Structure 1
Amino acid sequence: MNNDGFDGLENSPAGDAANVQNASSSFVWTSQTITLSVILFVAAGLLEVGGGWLVWQTVRENKNWIYAGTGIIALIGYGFVPCLQPTSDFGRVYAVYGGFFIVLAFAWARQFDGYLPDLGDLIGAGIALSGVLVIMLWPR
């Protein structure tokens, strides 16, 4: 290693990108990693939707500020959960999470606000979830 802490390509941004590419191309989905990933997507979604809903309750429904504080804590937790995904592809993880978020947002609204998704909501959510599962599980 030289004096500036730079030790060739393997420690450079280009080397990091190459290492990430090599790691992601060697990643293989198993039933265990799929289960873990789905659990993490659901946990992230519950934290994000739930946290957002709690803040919404304070701002839009004049609930106590404890709701907002709890929501903020949940949203902070949401920021960390996707980092636990078994694959290292940031963009793909967040893209796939989007489909789970759509489904969970409708489920949350149904459970806590009595919102009844219509056929268009259900078809759209099904398409979104199907699409992100293709993105997630496509062999690479």
Structure 2
Amino acid sequence: MMLKSIALFFLAALLEIGGAWLVWQGLREHRGWLWIGAGVIALGAYGFVAAFQPDPHFGRVLAAYGGVFIAGSLVWGMIADGFRPDRWDVVGALISLVGVGIIMYAPR
């Protein structure tokens, strides 16, 4: 169950961060409406993927996803835009991922 949840978080991050990046590229880098449209579709798909998390509580899933989004955004920036996080970016991302683990996987 935990592996399924982690895989869904990874896929959700790919769709949401990728969708937002496509919209950014379409608007800010003047790549056009096809990029924007693809981004909007990816962002919509993110909502569906998040709904498949095994935990039934929307608030818990979305709160935890916030931490995944933080770390995933830094990784995306490194891969797609050549961004190099500093040590504080890395520390903050690790702290947020610890929070994800506590929120989603602590024994209840």
TM score, norm. by length of structure 1: 0.75
Supply the distance in 1 between the matched residues of 2:47 and 2:75 (Cα, whole angstroms). 21
Match of 1:77 in 2: 45
Separation in structure 1 between the aligned mates of residue 29 and residue 106 of structure 2, nearest angstrom:
42
C-alpha RMSD of the superposition: 0.7
The aligned length equals 108
The share of aligned pairs that are identical, in percent, is 50
Task: Please list every run of at least 4 consecutive aligned residues from structure 1 whose deviation after the TM superposition is greater than 4 angstroms.
Answer: none
Larger Cα-atom Rg: 1
Q: Which of the pair has the greater relative contact order for Cα pairs under 8 Å at 6+ separation? A: 2
2:107 paired with 1:131: no
Equivalent residue in structure 1 for 2:60, among 81, 88, 92: 92
- Corresponding residue of 1:48: 16
Please report the TM-score for the alignment, with normalisation by the length of structure 2: 0.97
Distance 1:86 1:138 in 2: 14
Q: Distance in 2 between matches of 1:101 and 1:85?
A: 15
Unmatched runs of 5 consecutive residues or more in structure 1? 1-32
Q: Tell me the equivalent position of 2:4.
A: 36
2:76: which partner in 1? 108
CA distance in 1, matches of 2:40, 2:50: 17
